[in-house]
């Protein structure tokens, strides 16, 4: 059987196998990429036999490649229905590589609602590589008070969004962060790795994070993780402002409830 295959990309066609020209790279790697494309098109409804049929590959070859993709998290198996869907690792990579313009377009209505409701700055952050960065933010339209810009980078030990994000990351990623110097940004900033680990465990348990005068004096922030369908966390949504103003307006639990609703909506949209 000719194992050099590709998809007919004409709009009217389904996936159709046809000969490939001379290409670089290994045949197994090309086949694995084609399997991912077929599974993505199948939207979680495709079986092993259907994948093999679409690619004109033996079932045994297809099964072997699928097992490799399952092993590295690129595919997931619904064991009851015996169907495959794109795995957590692929969606994680997609979310990490999402450009800020796209995130802003998706998140702006949600962030605007938060910002106007509490007259504070609302924002969403994104894990890029091993760094939590500001993706986009919205100023309230109705505020007459001083506003606090959320910053560009959110370290693991001092920020609400950093904690909300890193708390759900693999242990090895957390430990790599804690092996780096933890900067003493303010007197309240905790730079003890064991204390940071304990705080991350508390964040995982309660589902939100706070930061109080740990980056800038008198600045308070609350953030919640945005969980994907696979439960991984690349994004976090937060609100920040002057501590005395935020505490005077409402208790932390009120912000958390609103941020959780916003996180659920952003997870659906993203």
Looking only at Cα atoms, what is the longest distance across the chain? Answer: 72
Q: What is the pLDDT of residue 71?
A: 92
Q: Cα angle vertex 116, ends 114, 117, to 5°?
A: 65
Q: Do domains 5-86 and 93-269 have the same CATH topology?
A: no
Domain spans of the chain? 5-86, 93-269
Q: What is the pLDDT of residue 215?
A: 96
Q: What is the pLDDT of residue 59?
A: 94
Query: How would you write the pLDDT of the chain (270 residues) with one tens digit per residue?
Result: 333 333 333 333 344 343 344 455 568 888 988 999 999 888 778 999 999 999 999 999 999 999 999 998 899 999 899 999 888 888 878 878 889 999 999 999 999 999 999 999 999 999 999 999 999 999 999 877 889 999 999 999 999 999 999 999 999 999 999 999 999 999 999 999 999 999 999 999 999 999 999 999 999 999 999 998 766 899 999 999 999 999 999 999 999 999 999 999 999 998
**What CA–CA distance (Å, rounded) separates 124 from 7?**
37
Q: pTM (2 decimals)?
A: 0.76
So what CATH class is 93-269?
alpha beta
Phi-psi region of 67 (alpha: psi -120 to 50; beta: other; left: phi over 0): alpha
CATH architecture for residues 5-86: Orthogonal Bundle (1.10)
Rounded CA Rg of the chain = 23
């Amino acid at each position: 059987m000719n194992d050099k295959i590709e998809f007919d990309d004409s709009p009217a066609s389904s996936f159709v196998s046809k000969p490939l020209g001379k290409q670089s790279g290994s045949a197994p790697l090309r086949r694995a990429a084609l399997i991912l494309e077929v599974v993505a098109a199948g939207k979680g409804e495709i079986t092993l036999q259907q994948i093999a049929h679409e690619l004109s590959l033996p079932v045994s070859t297809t099964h072997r490649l699928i097992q490799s993709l399952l092993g590295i998290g690129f595919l997931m198996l619904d064991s009851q229905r015996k169907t495959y869907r794109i795995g957590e690792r692929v969606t994680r990579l997609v979310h990490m590589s999402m450009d800020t313009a796209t995130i802003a377009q998706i998140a702006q209505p949600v962030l605007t609602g938060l910002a106007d409701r509490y007259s504070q700055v609302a924002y969403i952050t994104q894990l890029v590589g091993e760094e939590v960065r500001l993706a986009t933010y919205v100023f309230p339209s109705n505020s007459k008070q001083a506003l606090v810009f959320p910053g560009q980078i959110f370290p693991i030990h001092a920020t609400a969004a950093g904690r909300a994000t890193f708390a759900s990351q693999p242990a090895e990623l957390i430990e790599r962060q804690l092996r780096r110097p933890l900067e003493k940004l303010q007197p309240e900033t905790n730079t003890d790795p064991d204390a940071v680990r304990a705080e991350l465990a508390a964040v995982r348990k309660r589902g939100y994070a706070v930061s109080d005068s740990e980056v800038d004096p008198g600045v308070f922030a609350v953030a919640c993780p945005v969980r994907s369908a696979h439960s991984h966390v690349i994004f976090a949504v937060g609100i920040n402002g002057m501590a005395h103003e935020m505490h005077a307006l409402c208790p932390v639990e009120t912000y958390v409830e609103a941020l959780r609703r916003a996180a659920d909506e952003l997870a659906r949209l993203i």
